Structure formats: structure tokens, C-alpha cells
Amino acid sequence: MAPFCWISCLLLLFGFHNDSGVCSKCKLVNCLVEKVDKLELRIRGLIRDRQQGSLLAAPGTPGRASTPSTPALEPPQQGEWVTSRRHTSPPVHHAPPVHVSNRFAPLSEAPAEEPVKGTLVIGDSIVRHVKLATPLGAPAARVICLPGARAPDISGNLRLLANRRYSRVVIHVGANDIRLRQSEVTKANIKEVVKQAQTLSEEVICSGPIPMRRGDEAYSRLSSLNRWMSKWCTDNHVGFIDNWLMFEGKPGLLGRDGVHPTRDGAALLSCSIAHSLLVNPMNI
């Protein structure tokens, strides 16, 4: 009996039951195996049902109307709740096109150009007191006096006015140029002044020199320059004002220096320029 008791004690110690002769752990293992088999069968059934549902939900499957596709949502992580919302775009209203027109378009297509202004008189100190009367409503004449200026100086000032337009440009030059004692250079400079003035106006008038009482040489050079200007202007369709005959032999028209006109001389020069402007049918 001692060995049997010892074996029984060992079986009880290791968890075996000796009444039916079957191990209790084996029973537990068999039970677990049966539960696992049932779970596998259930999982296979769930997988099969899910596959059949996805096939029916596919677009174009006969027997079921297709539903608009929606963007796939990312699978939620374990332990989180995800709220799914269907985004619908608002209806788009197409407004009829609005016709826009500018009834001033023909005016805007015209080339932008500064309007023609009045007469421009530019010269050396001889024109300092020149004043031109303008008709009522006509643009006022502009007089630019450049004391001591020579032909190149007047040409440079005309370049500064290149973006403007005038009805006429009157140039008085020569009294200071004869000091160079280079007749051909003086003639070339006067031609350049006229060419520059023609960029500001279609009509250019040269106001001839007045006789100065500064010695025989100055008188002779000015007289020669006056004759050349008269002929050259006529040949090149440039207006010319002959001031020589109006001032010759009239000492009261020149100041004490024998060069600049007096008030009466300036008034006579103004009338001479104004008369040359009235000869042309264009207004000042």
C-alpha cells in the first residue's frame, strides 16, 4: 500500500485526477481546442460575409444601385472615436457675363500729345523787354531772355523744351556770336538753332540783328550776318524779320551802351515781331 499511496500523492501533486483515469489538464486543453475551433469558424464566417458585402457595394454590380463614391477614411486607431462627415460642395451659380464698354474709347486711342501753345520768343538780352499782345482767348506768348547767349546756348535751351509744342518759335540771335570772328561757325550754329526749333513748331521765324554802335568791325559783321540770314531764311522757307532798316539811323532806339534797345526800341521790336506773326493766317 505504501507505493500506491506515494503514486497517488504524486498524481494529486501534479494535478491529475485518478477517479476516471483522465488527466484534468488534458480536459482543459481539449476544451480550449474546441473553443479555438469555434472561433476560427466564426472568423471565417465574418470574413465571408464582409467579402460578399463589399462585392455588392461595388459600383456597376447588377441588382443594386450604384452609390456615389466617397473618399475613404483612414481606419480609426484602437481606443479612439472618429466622427465621419460627408462634405457636399455648395451649388455653383453661374452669373451671366456683364458687357463692359467705354464710350470714350475713341478718345483714349488718340495719340497723347501736349496741346499746341502760344508763340515762343527766345533770344539774348536784346529781347529782355519784348512784350507781345495776344488776341482775346489766344494763348499768351512766352518770352525767354538769355543774357549773353550765343546760338549753341539757345539750341541747348530748346532741347529742354523738346516735349512741348508751340504755334511759332521766334529766334533772336547773332549779337554775341560775332565776337568769335568766325563767320562760317556762326552760320552753322544758327542753322542748328533753326533745326532744333523746328522740332517744337512747324513755323520758325528768325529775328534779324539790330545795328550796334560798338565800332566799325562789329557793325560790319552784324550787317554781313543780317544779309546772309535774310537770304538763307528765304531759301529754306524760314520766316525772317528785318530789324536792320527799322533801327538804322535812329539813335533814340538804342541805349547808351549802343547795344541794347531802349523802351521805345523794345516796343518797336515787339511790334515788328507781332507784325510778322499777323502776316501768317495762324493766330498767335
Share of the chain above pLDDT 90, in %: 38
pLDDT in tens, 34-87: 888 888 888 888 888 888 876 665 555 454 544 445 454 455 455 555 555 555
Residue 261 φ then ψ, to 5°? -75, 150
Give which of 182, 129, 123, 193 is closest to 155, Cα–Cα. Answer: 193
Query: Residues 107, 111, 117, CA angle at the centre, nearest 5°?
Result: 100
Are 186 and 179 contacting, i.e. CB atoms less than 8 angstroms apart?
A: no
pLDDT in tens, 16-27: 454 555 567 677
Confidence of residue 193 (pLDDT cuts 50, 70, 90): very high
Out of 72-76, 130-134, 246-250, 267-271, pick the least confident: 72-76
Are 198 and 204 contacting, i.e. CB atoms less than 8 angstroms apart?
A: yes
Mean pLDDT, the chain, rounded, equals 77
- Provide the 8-state DSSP code for 175: T
Q: Distance between CA atoms of 186 and 165, rounded to whole angstroms?
A: 26
Q: Is it the case that residue 213 has pLDDT exceeding 60? A: yes
Q: Please report the pLDDT score of residue 114 as a whole number.
A: 56
Q: Please report the pLDDT score of residue 275 as a whole number.
A: 87
State the average pLDDT over residues 259-275: 91
Name the more confident of 219 and 65.
Answer: 219
Give which of 166, 164, 131 is closest to 272, Cα–Cα. Answer: 131
Q: Is it the case that residue 104 has pLDDT exceeding 80? A: no
DSSP-H helix ranges across 72-182 = 105-108, 151-160
